[in-house]
């Protein structure tokens, strides 16, 4: 691979912004030089920011490609996966953990089919080199669903699996402490009051019977394989303490300040959604990510349900909260890479992978003007 030079860039390292040039050779960052003068054969960035490629540890976007409308299941898994890859790359995401739910609720056949198809499509796309970004897997495990172990099956042995999260979406628990929020989320089911009551009763019985045992079994399987684990939607100090006792180091989407504070004090990574930052609060009534950030408790942001939020959120934190840009960018680059042991990316430093995003501010909004993955140009706009 020939040498690539970026000049006149505002290079965002983990600790500072350097006005200068960056040289890439053989897919890795070779040198960073201060000074804004142009170099022969270099790409003039015209003062744009050059940041590490974004590392997204939780995105629902792949599943949305499979079910773009209620009642529609896309018939071509590989086309869904490649379309998703194009979307994520355009948002500056160069490493993504496609998040896939292992659960049977509410439609068992569709959920099971989508879980298998998503994993197969990502695995095949990576094997054939069809993707622009690097794709890994985040398996979301619904501990209260008795069908979860059968859906997980042997997928935990897939080498692309880099994270498993333990969830309990039973009405009255965690994210759905308010059962009305559960009903609101599944409003398209059109339940009558009587039907809703039956659904809630069934799910609570299944939770009481299966959640504890299945959670322990999933933890044992992940620990055996060295897969990092996250506890999802912790709502209280006891939730966090349980995760700590189980050897879990990631608190993903805490729903209360109490949970976030307890997790941070214990040394856990606190992961929250970038849409929460962009919108100024949680759309579901949970704790504000801005509040958690202001208290110094937040370590990682993820795109959750809006891929474009992952680039927008750190710039908003920088401009509106007055925090240094390198600190804000680290929430979506260095910190998630470190959390998952991906030490070869997430930072602009010599000898690391040249996963780079040239960011142009357009009317104050960050736009990915070009994206390079291991030094290879995969996206460029005029």
| 330, 350: one domain | no
Position of tokens 């729903």?
255
| 31, 170: one domain | no
Strand blocks (E) in the chain: 4-12, 17-25, 28-34, 43-44, 49-52, 54-59, 93-102, 134-142, 161-167, 229-232, 250-252, 269-273, 300-302, 356-362, 365-373, 376-380
| 327, 185: one domain | yes
Compute φ and ψ for 321, nearest 5 degrees.
-105, -10
Compute φ and ψ for 164, nearest 5 degrees.
-130, 135
- pLDDT number for residue 320: 96
| 187, 264: one domain | yes
Q: Which residue numbers in the chain have pLDDT < 70?
A: 1, 36-41, 171-172, 174-176, 178-180, 183-188
| 48, 159: one domain | no
> Which pair of tokens denotes residue 382?
């005029």
CATH number of domain containing 88: 3.20.20.140
Helices and strands, counts by H and E, the chain: 13, 16
- pLDDT number for residue 187: 66
| 232, 148: one domain | yes
| C-alpha distance from residue 207 to each of 168, 248, 259, 272 (Å) | 8, 21, 21, 25
Into how many domains does the chain fold? 2
- Residue range 9-67, pLDDT digits in tens: 999 999 999 999 999 999 999 999 998 666 666 889 999 999 999 999 999 999 999 99
| 235, 375: one domain | no
Give the DSSP per-residue string, 320-351.
HH---HHHHHHTTTHHHHHHTT-TTSSS--TT
| 13, 155: one domain | no
| 331, 357: one domain | no
Give the DSSP per-residue string, 32-59.
EEE-----TT-EE-TT-EEEEPEEEEEE
Residue 349 structural domain: 1-52+345-382
| 121, 266: one domain | yes
| 213, 355: one domain | no
CATH number of domain containing 47: 2.30.40.10
First to last CA, the chain: 23
Q: Is 343 exposed, middle or buried (0-12, 13-18, 19+ CB in 10 A)?
A: exposed
pTM: 0.93
- pLDDT number for residue 382: 72
Compute φ and ψ for 302, nearest 5 degrees.
-135, 155
Nearest to 54 by CA among 7, 94, 82: 94
Go through 192-222 and write b for each residue having 16 or more CB atoms within 10 A of its CB, e for each that does not: eeeebeebbeebbebbeebbeebbebbbebb
| 106, 7: one domain | no
């Amino acid at each position: 691979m020939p040498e690539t030079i970026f000049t006149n860039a505002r290079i965002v390292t983990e600790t500072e912004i350097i006005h200068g040039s960056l040289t890439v050779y053989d897919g890795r960052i070779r040198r960073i030089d201060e000074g804004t003068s142009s170099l022969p054969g270099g790409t003039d960035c015209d003062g744009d920011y050059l940041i590490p490629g974004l590392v997204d540890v939780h995105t629902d976007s792949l599943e949305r490609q499979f079910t773009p409308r209620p009642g529609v299941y896309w018939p071509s898994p590989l086309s869904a996966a490649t379309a998703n890859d194009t979307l994520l790359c355009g948002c500056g995401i160069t490493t993504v953990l496609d998040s896939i739910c292992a659960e049977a609720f509410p439609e068992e056949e569709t959920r099971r089919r989508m879980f298998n198809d998503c994993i197969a499509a990502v695995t095949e796309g990576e094997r054939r080199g069809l993707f622009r970004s690097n794709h890994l897997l985040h398996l979301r495990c619904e501990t209260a669903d008795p069908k979860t172990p059968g859906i997980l099956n042997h997928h935990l042995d897939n080498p692309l699996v880099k994270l498993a999260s333990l969830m309990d979406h039973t009405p009255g628990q965690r994210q759905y402490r308010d059962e009305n929020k559960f009903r609101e989320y599944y409003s398209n089911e059109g339940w009558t009051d009587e039907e809703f009551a039956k659904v809630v009763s069934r799910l609570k019985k299944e939770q009481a019977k299966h959640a504890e045992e299945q959670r322990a079994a999933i933890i044992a399987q992940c620990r055996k394989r060295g897969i990092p684990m996250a506890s999802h939607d912790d709502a209280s100090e006891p939730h966090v303490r349980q995760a700590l006792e189980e050897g879990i180091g990631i608190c993903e989407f805490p729903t209360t300040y109490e949970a976030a504070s307890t997790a941070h004090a214990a040394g856990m990574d606190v992961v929250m959604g970038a849409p929460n930052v962009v919108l100024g609060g949680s759309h579901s009534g949970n704790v504000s990510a801005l509040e958690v950030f202001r208290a110094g408790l937040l370590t990682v942001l993820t795109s959750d349900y809006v891929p474009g939020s992952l680039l927008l959120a750190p710039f908003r934190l920088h401009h509106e909260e007055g925090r240094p840009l390198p600190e804000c960018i680290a929430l979506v680059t260095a910190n998630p890479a470190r959390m998952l042991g991906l030490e070869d990316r997430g930072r602009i430093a010599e000898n690391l992978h040249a996963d780079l995003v040239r960011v142009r501010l357009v009317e104050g909004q960050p736009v990915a003007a070009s994206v390079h993955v291991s030094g290879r140009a995969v996206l460029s706009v005029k």
